[in-house]
């Protein structure tokens, strides 16, 4: 017999097809990146289902009974997220897949028959695959809608900071989901005093995440741009915004924390109102720190709430640092928060940098700290530095 000769050309073509298939499946990600993504997805799913699971052992429960009780809760936490029709489909698929290995038959007066369990399992697998396809279809539609919402939200946020005399500005945001509830902006106030140009600086955080928070963020942006057209002190502007927010806050359940400031470049004077927001920082060139905490309660909590304004004068080389809680509350895999102390270390380290460079170093440091832990809140930071 003549031994078969392997065709190297066919082998190379097959290898290339397998490589293209693997590249298409993994989108070029390395093994450690795939594992990190799997861990992040697993944590997200665990948080989603564990919210409805009480894993505390019962007083009269044995170990086996407690384990069965937890599994049952997880099962129902998953089932209740499906439509009733898909629940029936899932149950039918599970029954067919978990039938005993032996063939089974039935006999009646009219008919009798026999079914091979390999056939039932094939049917169960097809039903399970059909259920998966329907769930993926819903996810694709939702993802497309969220992408449109993301593009709309991007139109509401400034792409580049404005030119402010005597100051440099940088800002950035990272949503925890496709769309965010954080807001930032810097723009010339059209309703300011005649002959004196001032700039409004705003950083806000709507309670909640994803689509509901993004919709309220859009209403915050609209009210700020509309109400700032009228002249008057900053406290009146914030009070009017609070009145509008209270009409859309569902009795205070959908509130917004905000830092709103008016910067006068000629005097380098910053007038601000802190409406329950994370305390912004004024970092002096000398390294001294001042916290801007004068203001009042978050917007949308109580109609008619009083607000006070504070002032700070910025000198050459001084920084204004405003951020949302996603910065200082970013967690690493050990659930340790980034914290304000580490933020101040980074700010002092880069006090002589330009704002954009400082912002890039700060976000890179947050990435190093967080590692592959999932982002649980939107991250937004705005930096202003008075020119030397």
pLDDT tens per residue across span 322-378: 999 999 999 998 889 999 999 999 999 999 999 999 999 999 999 999 987 888 888
Question: What average pLDDT does this structure show over 284-305?
Answer: 92
- Residue 261 confidence class, pLDDT cut points 50, 70, 90: very high
Q: Tokens 């905000």 appear where?
A: 258
In a shared domain, residues 129 and 255 = no
Distance (Å, whole) CA 203 – CA 172: 11
CA 337 to the chain's CA centroid: 16
Residues 6 or more apart in contact with residue 327 via CB below 8 angstroms: 278, 338, 343, 366, 379, 380, 381
DSSP 56: P
In a shared domain, residues 285 and 181 = yes
Distance (Å, whole) CA 267 – CA 366: 34
In a shared domain, residues 256 and 324 = yes
Of 361, 269, 257, 265, the closest CA to residue 311 belongs to 269
pLDDT of residue 67: 81
Give 159: exposed, middle or buried? Use CB within 10 Å, 0-12, 13-18, 19+: exposed
- Strand 295-296 relative to strand 269-275: parallel, antiparallel, unpaired? parallel
pTM, to two decimals = 0.72
Owning domain of residue 85 = 72-99+116-156
pLDDT of residue 135: 86
Beta-carbon count within 10 A of 269 CB: 14
Question: What average pLDDT does this structure show over 239-261?
Answer: 85
Question: What average pLDDT does this structure show over 285-292?
Answer: 92
CB 278 within 8 A of CB 328: yes
Instruction: Pick the more confident residue, 56 or 170.
Output: 170
pLDDT of residue 297: 94
- Residue 100 confidence class, pLDDT cut points 50, 70, 90: low
- Residue 128 inside a domain? The answer is yes
Question: What average pLDDT does this structure show over 52-59?
Answer: 71
Distance (Å, whole) CA 321 – CA 289: 11
Q: Tokens 């910065």 appear where?
A: 327
CB 280 within 8 A of CB 203: yes
Beta-carbon count within 10 A of 142 CB: 12
Give 310: exposed, middle or buried? Use CB within 10 Å, 0-12, 13-18, 19+: middle
Domain end (from 133, 156, 179): 156
264, two tokens: 């006068």
Segment among 136-145, 171-180, 258-267, 365-374 with least mean pLDDT: 136-145
In a shared domain, residues 192 and 318 = yes
CATH number for the domain harbouring residue 217 = 3.60.40.10
In a shared domain, residues 350 and 270 = yes
- Residue 182 inside a domain? The answer is yes
pLDDT at 2 over 60: no
- Residue 15 inside a domain? The answer is no
Rg (alpha carbons) of the chain, rounded to whole number = 29
pLDDT at 63 over 70: yes
Distance (Å, whole) CA 296 – CA 309: 9
Bridge partners of 183, per DSSP, are 204
- Residue 109 inside a domain? The answer is no
- Residue 232 confidence class, pLDDT cut points 50, 70, 90: confident
In a shared domain, residues 139 and 210 = no
- Residue 351 inside a domain? The answer is yes
Domain end (from 129, 156, 183): 156
- Residue 107 inside a domain? The answer is no
In a shared domain, residues 323 and 175 = yes
pLDDT of residue 159: 85
Instruction: Pick the more confident residue, 74 or 326.
Output: 326
- Residue 361 inside a domain? The answer is yes
CB 219 within 8 A of CB 247: no
How many domains in the chain? Answer: 2
- Residue 57 inside a domain? The answer is no
pLDDT at 167 over 80: yes
pLDDT at 317 over 80: yes
Domain end (from 90, 125, 156): 156
In a shared domain, residues 346 and 238 = yes
- Residue 278 confidence class, pLDDT cut points 50, 70, 90: very high
pLDDT of residue 8: 67
In a shared domain, residues 338 and 264 = yes
In a shared domain, residues 88 and 188 = no
Distance (Å, whole) CA 25 – CA 35: 14
- Residue 24 confidence class, pLDDT cut points 50, 70, 90: confident
Segment among 62-71, 120-129, 281-290 with least mean pLDDT: 62-71
In a shared domain, residues 280 and 182 = yes
Highest mean pLDDT: which range of 121-125, 154-158, 196-200, 268-272: 268-272
In a shared domain, residues 76 and 196 = no
């Amino acid at each position: 017999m003549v031994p078969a000769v392997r065709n190297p050309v066919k082998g190379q073509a097959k290898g290339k097809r397998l490589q293209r298939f693997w590249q298409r499946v993994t989108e070029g990600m390395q093994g450690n990146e795939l594992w990190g993504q799997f861990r992040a997805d697993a944590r997200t799913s665990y948080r989603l289902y564990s919210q409805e699971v009480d894993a505390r052992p019962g007083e009269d429960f044995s170990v086996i009974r407690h384990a069965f009780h937890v599994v049952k809760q997880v099962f129902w936490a998953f089932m209740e997220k499906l439509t009733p029709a898909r629940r029936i489909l899932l149950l039918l698929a599970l029954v067919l897949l978990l039938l005993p290995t032996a063939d089974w038959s039935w006999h009646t007066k009219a008919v009798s028959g026999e079914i091979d369990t390999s056939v039932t399992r094939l049917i169960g697998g097809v039903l399970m695959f059909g259920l998966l396809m329907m769930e993926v279809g819903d996810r694709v539609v939702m993802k497309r809608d969220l992408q449109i919402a993301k593009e709309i939200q991007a139109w509401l946020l400034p792409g580049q900071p404005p030119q402010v005399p005597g100051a440099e500005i940088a800002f950035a945001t990272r949503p925890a989901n496709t769309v965010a509830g954080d807001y930032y902006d810097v723009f010339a106030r059209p309703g300011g005093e005649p002959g004196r140009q001032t700039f409004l600086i705003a950083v806000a955080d709507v309670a909640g995440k994803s689509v509901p928070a993004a919709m309220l963020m859009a209403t915050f942006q609209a009210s700020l741009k509309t109400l700032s057209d009228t002249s008057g002190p900053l406290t009146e502007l914030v009070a009017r915004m609070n009145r509008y927010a209270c009409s859309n806050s569902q009795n205070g359940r959908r509130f917004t924390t905000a830092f709103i400031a008016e910067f006068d470049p000629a005097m380098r004077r910053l007038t601000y109102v802190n409406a329950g927001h994370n305390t912004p920082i004024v970092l002096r060139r000398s390294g001294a720190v001042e916290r801007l905490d004068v203001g009042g309660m978050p917007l949308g909590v109580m109609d008619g709430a009083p607000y006070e304004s504070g002032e700070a004068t910025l000198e050459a080389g001084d920084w204004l640092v405003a951020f949302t809680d996603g910065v200082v509350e970013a967690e690493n895999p050990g659930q340790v928060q980034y914290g304000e102390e580490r933020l101040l270390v980074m700010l002092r380290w880069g006090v002589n940098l330009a704002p954009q460079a400082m912002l890039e170093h700060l976000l890179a440091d947050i990435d190093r700290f967080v590692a592959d832990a999932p982002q649980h809140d939107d991250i937004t930071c705005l930096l202003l530095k008075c020119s030397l």
